[in-house]
Amino acid sequence: MPDKTPFFSAKPLAETSASENASKKITGRKRATRTAAPETKKQTQIAKQLTQIYQDNEGRLPDMRNIKIKKRHPAFKFFLALLFLGALLAAAAWAGFFLMPNNKKFSEDQVALNVDGPKNFISGSTTTYKIAYGNNQSLVLKNATLNVQYPEGFVFLSSEPDAKNPGHTEWSLGEIPPFRKREIAITGLTYGSLNQKQSWRAFLTYQPENFGSELQKAAIFDVTAEKSPFALAISGPDKITVGNSVEYIFTVKKEYDSQIKKLLLKPSWPQNFFITSSTPAVGKDNTWTVEPNKTSSSTIGFTEQKFKLTGKFSPAAGETAPDESSGQNAGNITASLFASANNNAYELVAAKISTGLIQNNLDFSLAVNGSLGNLSAQPGDSLNITISLKNESLGALKNASLKLSLDAPSAKKQSLLDWAKLEDKYDGDVRGIQINNTTRRGEITWNKNKISDLAKINKGQEIILDVKLPIKNNEAINFSDLATYSQITALAEVSFTDQNNVSRNYSGNQIIITVNSDLKLETRDTVSTANGVEKHQVTWILTNNFHPLKNLTLAAEIYGNTEVEISSPVPAGEAKLDSTGKKLTWTIPEMPPETDVLALPFTVTIADPNPTQEILISKVHVQAEDAVTKERLDFMGEEIRLR
């Protein structure tokens, strides 16, 4: 069947004359008659449409042989294909994320952790707390670890299962499978003050199986000490006359069972109250020890225990005690009861009592070296003691008696005070009493036989009594035999019959003298002259015989045009000049008891003498810390003069 598809030429149509066109038309018809089949109506319509598409505005058809086809670069095609493929994959991934089901999706809310146990507890009781953790989802939690921070007053006893670290605060949990719950039980003693809030803190660290990093869950559980297993009460007078003896009783009573093995009862009092006795004797730090669970005849079936404190109030330094009508309470006695465990003390309960102080109508005071309060001294110093008594009552006082008591450290029943050198113009009666192995009391008493004015002290009359008593030095007593801590306690008392024929006994202010170490400095200077040059061989000599010392510093200024040479080696510490070469400082970290002498020699050469110069080296400023009393020693040594 002949091909009836129309033929198109890319050759442009050439213009011809009318005759040529007519001739071609005739020829074309003949050819058409010979070679081409008659055109259908549809083909003619298609040809017209193609001609309309390809012909230009002037009716010309393009020559297809002159049309150039521009080829694209193969790399560009690859990039476009890759971009298209990536877009398809991303779209598929997002569609899968949102449209496809996922059973391994992690949720932090599905990780459970909580602490459970008694929120309110009796201090010192045994308690058990449970820490529950769980995985409420379909994926596995890997490398799980539980860490616990206990409340401040919790003392660990046991756990199930056991912790992996010595502090019993960390558990390795491994993997937590899907939909699995577990718990850890921890038992211990819980201490705390009443109504004191404390907290358990638990931290669960884990890694979800579809995560590359660790996550953490935290839980907090607050607990409060609701009750104390012991009660504490203080009893004593509502009012007391200043100077009169007063007694306070501290009662510790058992309220609930507990595992507490040791209690500390610590009373406290104002500065104008001083103790005369205690039962049982208070410890070195003014504390009583109670052992409620100790198996002994005195504590079996422990229900309560009493402690007694006897003392006197004196007017505070520089103040007048309030009278009865003022209603002021100046005497506050307090106490706290502590549970002792794991080298820590936990306050269980506290108590307080206030006592009104009543004026005694006497101006009665004690002074030592001019001080009405506590002071410091050194071996070899003298104590200048003054007792002052003035009658400010409305009538006369009769048959008065004065007593001065001095408690001092002792060794082999020999007091640190040198009673053999006592100076007292009234020659009072002296009596010695050995209080214990380390303390000896000396008492001086004066009555109307010693001081005639004590027979009757009229209204407004004043009596002043002075005595002098030295402290022994290292030549008079062996310091190594004395107790480590050295204090002297001074107290004056007066007794008399008042205008109503009532016997009275009052005490003055108590004074504590702290005896520091006997550190001394001696400055030696040997002068020599050669070839008109004056040289001073200077030596600083430190002596110490009582307590060990720390952080010693000696410093002095050197005047004039001089050259200083420090002998080497330095016996202890470091000696150096400042940048100007005019200030010499010697620092010593410590001076132990076995070292009683340290000497620093140095030479000062006067290069250019000044006829008007009088002082070569200033007074030496000496500072040190007493390692026993913890007090600072500070004094000035001698200067070196030229003329």
Query: pLDDT tens, 59-117?
Result: 666 665 555 555 555 666 666 677 777 777 766 555 544 444 445 688 888 999 999 99
pLDDT digits (tens, 9 = 90+) for 307-319: 999 988 876 543 4
pLDDT digits (tens, 9 = 90+) for 366-380: 999 999 888 999 999
Domains of the chain, CATH where assigned? 18-66 (no CATH), 108-227 (2.60.40.1530), 230-358 (2.60.40.3670), 362-515 (2.60.40.740), 520-641 (2.60.40.1170)
Residue 197 to residue 199: CA distance in whole angstroms: 7
Q: Which residue has the higher pLDDT, 67 or 158?
A: 158
Q: Residue 115: in which H helix or E strand, if any?
A: strand 111-116
Q: Residue 446: in which H helix or E strand, if any?
A: strand 439-446
What is the C-alpha end-to-end distance of the chain, expressed in Å? Answer: 153
Q: Which of 87-96, 282-291, 340-349, 364-373 is predicted most confidently?
A: 364-373
**pTM: predicted TM-score of the whole model, two decimal places:** 0.59
Weakest mean pLDDT among 232-246, 305-319, 324-338, 353-367:
324-338
**621-626 β-sheet, strand order:** 574-577, 583-591, 549-557, 621-626, 632-636
pLDDT digits (tens, 9 = 90+) for 385-424: 999 999 988 889 999 999 999 999 998 889 999 999 999 9
Residue 528 to residue 211: CA distance in whole angstroms: 88
Q: What residues have CB less than 8 Å from 161, skipping those under 6 apart?
A: 171, 184
Burial of 228 (0-12, 13-18, 19+ CB in 10 A): buried
Q: Which of 189-193, 274-278, 471-475 is predicted most confidently?
A: 471-475
Backbone angles phi, psi at 69, to 5 degrees: -100, 120
Burial of 284 (0-12, 13-18, 19+ CB in 10 A): exposed
* pLDDT greater than 80 at residue 26: no
Residue 547 to residue 590: CA distance in whole angstroms: 11
Per-residue pLDDT averaged across 174-196, rounded? 89
| Distances in whole angstroms, Cα of residue 211 to Cα of each of 96, 207, 218, 412 | 19, 6, 19, 79
- Closest among 524, 529, 522, 544 to 602, alpha carbons compared: 524
pLDDT digits (tens, 9 = 90+) for 212-227: 788 999 999 999 988 8
Per-residue pLDDT averaged across 500-513, rounded? 88
Q: How many residues can be counted in the chain? A: 643
